[in-house]
Structure 1
Amino acid sequence: MSTTTPEHDARVAKLTFAGVYPHYVTKVEKKGRTKEELHQVIEWLTGYDDEKLQDLVDRKVTFETFFKEASLNPNAHLIKGVICGYRIEEIETPLTRQVRYLDKLVDELSKGRKMEKILREA
């Protein structure tokens, strides 16, 4: 089983959502998707509505806090594949796996996947 290093996991945990979020918005908008669709994907994964997302950005929370406060979707385990060189289902550290879930969803959105596929409905 390939896994991340403790150093990698520590770096991921310390990243702030506010620092990464604008990159998510840019990535999806460059590919013709909307911030609303991005929010829909984030809400599906975490349970966060627009107001809560803005609160998390304003508070500059780390990904550790971001996922600690989240209500992870029970179907999140269906998110599989490779992102940032790691196979998601093989990542042993729960927080790093959750961050990669989010990265993968943003990636699928920017690649034009149908929303029901991204949200693991079909």
Structure 2
Amino acid sequence: MGTAPGEFRTPHALAFDSQGRLFVADRGNVRIQIFQQDGIFVTEWKHFGRLSGIFIDANDVLYAADSESSATSNPGWQRGIRIGSAVTCHIFSFIPDPAVNPGGTSAAEGVAADMHGNVYGAEVGPRQIVKYVRND
């Protein structure tokens, strides 16, 4: 347990990109850590949030779910799915949480996307799967 590169505080989700690199959502350290398959640390990204879920599709599009952040602890924060590149780490899209009244729900804990680009989030509190609709 730790905060240095290659150390973890709360490893919460895993995904591989098309190059076979392992992406670890290290929620407790508010970062994604990236490793080669032999365990060698490559880099870390800190701008996707406190990730609970991560999914990378065949085109290296990274989908990130953060169920822990809030506007109270992080002013300006919005609930939803962040979408970016597993190659460049650039976030290029955001799908807001579809809940009209999010007070009775939890944010997405897990995330997945199908081959048609439909995005789904798994919510622990209400025990449900929610479809997120892209507007871009």
Report 1 or 2 for greater relative contact order, CA contacts < 8 Å, sequence distance ≥ 6. 1
If the length of structure 1 is used for normalisation, what is the TM-score? 0.27
More helix by share: 1
More strand by share: 2
Q: Which of the pair has more CA radius of gyration?
A: 2
If the length of structure 2 is used for normalisation, what is the TM-score? 0.26
